[in-house]
Amino acid sequence: MQQLFSAFGIDWRLLIAQAVNFGIVLIALRYFLYTPILTMLAKRQEMAAKGVADAERAARALAGADDEAARRVAAADAQAEEIVSLAREAGNAEKQRLLKETEERASAAARDAKMRAQEAAARLARESERDIVRLAVLAAEKILKKQYD
């Protein structure tokens, strides 16, 4: 056995030194390489998971927003219809009021015109009477004057 060890140069001190060398490599690589890479992978996995969760949340929010938009549009439609209906009713009422007012004004104007016409006719009649009387007096004066001349 000793010959075998000697032939292969087996020396327990070198054996331990090589084992220590490997131990140093193991510790150093673990510290400088494996841990940073595995941490980076975990971090990226976490970020990817967060990204997916965010995307799902955004999709849900978008779907919710669509529903909300549809709901609001429907409410706005209903409100608009109500407003239009109210406006139509108000317009009709205003139209009726204006028509009535116009009719009243027209009839008042007609009444007023008729009254003025009657007054004018009466006045003309009175003036005509006066003129006739004066003309009659003038005619009588002329006749009388002719007779006494």
Partner 1 sequence: MHEGIAVVLKAEQLGSVFGFPVTNSLVMAWIVMALLIGGAYLFGRSLAIVPGKLQAGIEWIFEGALEYMGEVLGSEALARRFFPLIASIFLFVAAINELEFFPGVGSLGIVHASQFFPLLRAPTTDLNFTLALAAISFFTIEITSIAVLGFFTYAGKYVNLKSPIGFAVGLIEFISNLGRLISFSFRLFGNIFAGEVLVMVAGFFLPYVLPAPLMGFEMFIGLIQALVFAMLTLFFIKLAIMDPHEAH
Q: Which residues bind partner 1 (CB under 8 A)?
A: 7-11, 13-19, 21-26, 28-30, 32-34, 36-38, 40-41, 43-44, 47
Q: Which residue, 50 or 134, has its beta carbon nearer to partner 1?
A: 50
> Minimum distance between the CB of residue 53 and partner 1, rounded to whole angstroms?
18
Burial 71-90 (b: 16+ CB within 10 A, else e): eeeeeeeeeeeeeeeeeeee
Q: Which residue, 26 or 76, has its beta carbon nearer to partner 1?
A: 26
> Minimum distance between the CB of residue 8 and partner 1, rounded to whole angstroms?
4
Distance CA 92, CA 87 (A): 8
Long-range Cβ contact pairs of 28-34 (< 8 A, separation 24 or more)? none
Distance CA 76, CA 70 (A): 10
Q: Which residue, 32 or 81, has its beta carbon nearer to partner 1?
A: 32
Read off the amino acid at residue 96.
Answer: Q
> Minimum distance between the CB of residue 21 and partner 1, rounded to whole angstroms?
5
